Amino acid sequence: MQNQDEIRRLKDVVQQLLDEAKQQGATAAEAAFSVDNGLSVSARLGDVETIEYHCDQGIGVTVYFGQKKGSASTNDVSADSLKETIKAACSIARYASEDEYAGLPDPALLATEFPDLDLNHPWDIDAEKAITLAIECENAARHFDKAISNSEGASVNSHQGTRVFGNSLGFLQGYQSSRHSISCSVLAGSGDSMQRDYWYSVARNPVLLESAQFVGEKAAKRTVARLNARSLSTRQCPVLFAPEMAAGLIGSLLGAISGTSLYRKSSFLLDSLDTQILPDFVRIHEQPLLIGGMGSASYDAEGVATNARDIVGNGILHSYILSTYSARKLGMQTTGNAGGVHNLTVESGQNDFAGMLKLLGTGLLVTELMGQGVNRVTGDYSRGASGFWVENGVIQYPVQEITIAGNLKTMLRNIVAIGSDVDLRGNIRVGSVLLEQMAIAGE
């Protein structure tokens, strides 16, 4: 349900900015205006901790004087402030260096169709209802098992935003979207062992959220399962990334094929277009027009039309992830990815989570990763991990204080299977991922 009056109001301001930029001598300009409203409530140990109402707005403008670029931003929408913001951007542009790759996108690539992607579902919830839900969620976790000894609390969030983008090529569009969530984090103790874990549910439509009780119980179940964790001896073994961890693995691949990494030559996948980078059963594709998707959009941050497309097919890299600027630097055409990917989907196999454990056989299930030990230039990968040791497809005991290591180039080629247990909570939609082998450093 879109509020067209609000969208029109923001469009009027963006058009004023573009007109003002032209008056001040800019040869081209683009502007974005966003307004966000929301409610965030958190409760801990049965009491309210925080109640926050959000009402934020921001404007960003970029102007061009030929190939010279300047940007400025403000959250004040008064006429004087808008003029000053444009003046500041123009001043920066006049003194900036020429950049032959700078400028607005090719007009022929701008979006011209704007289907309703069903992204906006306001939640009829006030602070009182949100508090009740948060306490219900936390109580479900705290009463789940006597081992639950403390809580970091539960939270309920509801946000709605309006965004309008326009440029001097005649593009001026806006849409509204919503995002709601329930989350919980608790601690459990057993002897000398103390563990924490969490769970959350997120959706654009509140009716699609998991129940507060389910979120609480799942947070508690995950926490209790980690008690009395052991380390492992150093070894090589198969590794299964749980879906939420697999998204990070795919994220490392995306970083390596993004335009910025490529033109800076800081990627382990330089010059990999049309080469095999994954096993031949792997397909990775974008679905920007998915109804209600967390990453759905009919145009990118530059107004360029998004398109459903294969990035990887049969394991072969078919396309990079490019904005207008990075595409020009590489002598290519934008892929409509200014601002990132849109519902990146890794095609899954037939095995659910239980089936993936059977495929793993004996090895490590990774459910948490720590540290930033990923070198995008060389592909070297080394991160602290915790999870579970699995034998004959059955979880045996929790594991902690280990490091998993490998090289992303090899890791990606050594994917054995991708599960059907897809995590739909984010912009990267992928199930659990089984790797043939990684090095485990432990005791």
pLDDT grade, residue 190 (50/70/90)?
Answer: confident
Please give the mean pLDDT across all residues of the chain: 96
User: Phi, psi (5° rounding) for residue 410?
Assistant: -70, -45
pLDDT in tens, 75-86: 999 999 999 999
Q: Are residues 45 and 170 in the same domain?
A: yes
User: Phi, psi (5° rounding) for residue 150?
Assistant: -160, 175
pLDDT in tens, 255-308: 999 999 999 999 999 999 999 999 999 999 999 999 999 999 999 999 999 999
> Has residue 31 been placed in a domain?
yes
Measured CA to CA, the distance from residue 277 to residue 139 in angstroms comes to 47
**Residue 371 clears pLDDT 90, i.e. is over it:** no
Q: Which domain holds residue 26?
A: 4-225
Domain boundary among 186, 207, 225: 225
pLDDT grade, residue 118 (50/70/90)?
Answer: very high
Strand positions, DSSP E, 220-302: 235-241, 284-286
Percent of the chain with pLDDT strictly greater than 70:
100
Measured CA to CA, the distance from residue 378 to residue 267 in angstroms comes to 7
> Has residue 230 been placed in a domain?
no
Amino acid 129 reads K
pLDDT of residue 334: 98
Q: Are residues 298 and 430 in the same domain?
A: yes
pLDDT grade, residue 11 (50/70/90)?
Answer: very high
Q: Are residues 249 and 398 in the same domain?
A: yes
Burial class (CB in 10 A: 0-12, 13-18, 19+), 219: buried
**Residue 439 clears pLDDT 70, i.e. is over it:** yes
Q: Are residues 9 and 99 in the same domain?
A: yes
Measured CA to CA, the distance from residue 92 to residue 59 in angstroms comes to 17
Tokens for 336, please give them: 């409509």
* Whole-prediction pTM: 0.93
Q: Are residues 280 and 189 in the same domain?
A: no
Measured CA to CA, the distance from residue 5 to residue 2 in angstroms comes to 9
Q: Are residues 13 and 119 in the same domain?
A: yes
> Has residue 205 been placed in a domain?
yes
Measured CA to CA, the distance from residue 20 to residue 295 in angstroms comes to 32
Measured CA to CA, the distance from residue 413 to residue 276 in angstroms comes to 8
Q: Are residues 79 and 150 in the same domain?
A: yes
Q: Are residues 42 and 95 in the same domain?
A: yes
Contact 5, 178 (CB under 8 A): no
pLDDT grade, residue 443 (50/70/90)?
Answer: confident
pLDDT in tens, 29-67: 999 999 999 999 999 999 999 999 999 999 999 999 999
DSSP string of 213-234, one letter each residue: HHHHHHHHHHHHHTTT-B---S
> Has residue 169 been placed in a domain?
yes
**What is the average pLDDT across 140-169?**
97
pLDDT in tens, 230-256: 999 999 999 999 999 999 999 999 999
> Has residue 382 been placed in a domain?
yes
Contacts of 213 (CB under 8 A, 6+ apart): 136, 137, 140
Domain count, the chain: 2
Neighbours of 113 (CB within 10 A): 8
Strand positions, DSSP E, 106-243: 148-167, 172-190, 193-203, 235-241
Q: Are residues 191 and 124 in the same domain?
A: yes
Say which CATH number the domain at 112 has: 3.30.2290.10
Q: Are residues 42 and 162 in the same domain?
A: yes
Q: Are residues 280 and 211 in the same domain?
A: no
pLDDT of residue 193: 82
Q: Are residues 290 and 174 in the same domain?
A: no
pLDDT of residue 372: 83
**Residue 2 clears pLDDT 80, i.e. is over it:** no
pLDDT grade, residue 1 (50/70/90)?
Answer: low
Domain boundary among 225, 244, 261: 225
pLDDT of residue 191: 81
C-alpha neighbours within 13 Å on the C-beta side of residue 221: 9
**What is the average pLDDT across 85-111?**
96
**In 24-110, which ranges are continuous DSSP H helix?**
79-95
Measured CA to CA, the distance from residue 257 to residue 7 in angstroms comes to 35
